[in-house]
């Protein structure tokens, strides 16, 4: 069985440590735990890992967040993975820092990466793992906040939760989604 795990973020060193790149951080943790290395490919960096007899194709789109749908559509076709075996990992300002929320479907919630995926795929019924980045920003400061770097206090919360989110992504390929949700949501 093959699964496609897409961590949303923006390419480039200026974005590497930002809240908006938590999707990249989580797929990086998966690759590192398996001693795999991302290689540049079409519309993103990609690597494959094996876990419990399953293949996980990990992708970090190079299309920038607002065009994530183009990369997701390409990699679904390239890997021949159906929508139910795709997991999108993204940041979420509606959740407290470090909170993990897995859902089978949902709206974009104002997230431009999810909005692009919904538009390109023409649907919202795909699994996603949302990682809380908090919402400690003033009116009109949302973009600066998500494109801002984590505080040292935040990193104390975030780093262990990155490992937990990586575990949830692997569980996505080995358990029914409702069990993954029960085990990791909260």
Per the annotation, the verdict on 20 as an active-site residue is: yes
- Distance, in Å, from the CA atom of 171 to the CA atom of 184, rounded to the nearest integer, reads 9
Report which of 143, 119, 166 is spatially closest to residue 7, judged by C-alpha positions.
Answer: 166
Report which of 123, 149, 145 is spatially closest to residue 136, judged by C-alpha positions.
Answer: 145
| Segments in 13-151 forming alpha helices (H) | 22-33, 68-79, 112-121, 142-146
Q: Which residues pair with 101 in a beta bridge?
A: 130
User: Which two tokens mark 127?
Assistant: 């699994």
User: Which two tokens mark 15?
Assistant: 């974005």
Q: Which of 7, 18, 20, 30 is catalytic?
A: 20
Strands lying side by side in the sheet with 86-92: 39-41, 44-51, 54-61, 2-7, 86-92, 128-132, 100-103
Active site residues per annotation: 20
């Amino acid at each position: 069985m093959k699964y496609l795990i897409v961590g949303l973020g923006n390419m480039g060193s200026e974005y590497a440590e930002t809240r908006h790149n938590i999707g990249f951080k989580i797929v990086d943790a998966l690759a590192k735990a398996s001693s795999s290395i991302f290689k540049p490919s079409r519309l993103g960096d990609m690597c494959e890992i094996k876990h419990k007899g399953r293949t996980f194709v990990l992708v970090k789109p190079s299309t920038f967040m607002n065009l994530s749908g183009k990369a997701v559509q390409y990699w679904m076709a390239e890997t021949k993975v159906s929508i139910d075996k795709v997991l999108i990992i993204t940041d979420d300002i509606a959740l407290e820092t470090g909170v993990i929320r897995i859902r089978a479907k949902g709206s974009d919630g104002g997230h431009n990466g999810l909005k692009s995926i919904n538009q390109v795929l023409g649907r919202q019924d795909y699994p996603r793992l949302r990682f809380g980045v908090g919402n400690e920003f003033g009116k009109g400061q949302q973009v600066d906040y998500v494109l801002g770097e984590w505080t040292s206090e935040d990193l104390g919360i975030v780093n262990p939760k990155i490992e937990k989110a990586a575990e949830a992504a692997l569980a996505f390929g080995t358990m029914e989604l409702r069990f993954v949700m029960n085990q990791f949501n909260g």
